């Protein structure tokens, strides 16, 4: 996988980035993680997050959870003002590349059925729909689509 061109490569985030992550969550999601949830996630060995900054401000981030040979994409958030510039793709491709280097074979994620831009991004990056969770999202009752990306070709 190749990353789209960009000025600054994503960097691995740490617990000290929790406040910036939470601000981004609040700007992007109807059910954002709290600052404490963001900070506590870093206490889990399987948790990893990457972020993109501009002028010291977190513009987007992706959070992930590694379990055995699988990677679960927890959140992918990009500030509304800087969407459609390839930041989400850079974050996702970085996460997949780094996962592949560590022996991860497959990535999974859930996405709201109404989130067409995210679905298009995931499909562009090699994810395929493998299932659906009816009425998954508590705030709207919307279904979640389950997507999978095989990082290692399956026999």
Residues annotated as part of the active site: 110, 122
53: β partners: 58
* Side-chain half-sphere exposure of 42, counting CA atoms within 13 A: 15
For the range 14-23, what are the long-range contacts, defined as Cβ-Cβ under 8 Å and sequence gap of 24 or more?
14/42, 15/39, 15/42, 15/43, 17/49, 17/51, 17/58, 17/61, 18/42, 20/51, 20/57, 20/58, 21/49, 21/51, 21/58, 21/61, 21/63, 23/58
Q: Minimal CA–CA distance to 95: which of 120, 117, 126, 129?
A: 126
d(CA 133, CA 36): 27
């Amino acid at each position: 996988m190749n990353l789209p061109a960009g000025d600054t490569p994503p960097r691995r985030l740490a617990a000290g980035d929790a406040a910036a992550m939470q601000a981004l969550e609040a700007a992007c999601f109807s059910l954002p993680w709290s600052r404490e949830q963001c900070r506590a996630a870093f206490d889990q060995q399987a948790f990893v997050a990457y972020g993109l900054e501009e002028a010291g401000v977190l513009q987007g981030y992706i959070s992930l959870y590694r379990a055995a040979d699988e990677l679960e994409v927890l959140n992918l958030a990009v500030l509304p003002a800087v969407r459609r510039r390839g930041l989400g793709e850079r974050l996702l491709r970085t996460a997949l590349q780094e996962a592949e280097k560590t022996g991860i074979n497959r990535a999974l994620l859930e996405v709201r059925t109404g989130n067409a831009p995210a679905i298009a991004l995931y499909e562009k990056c090699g994810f395929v729909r493998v299932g659906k969770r009816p009425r998954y999202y508590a705030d709207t009752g919307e279904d979640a689509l389950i997507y999978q990306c095989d990082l290692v070709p399956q026999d």
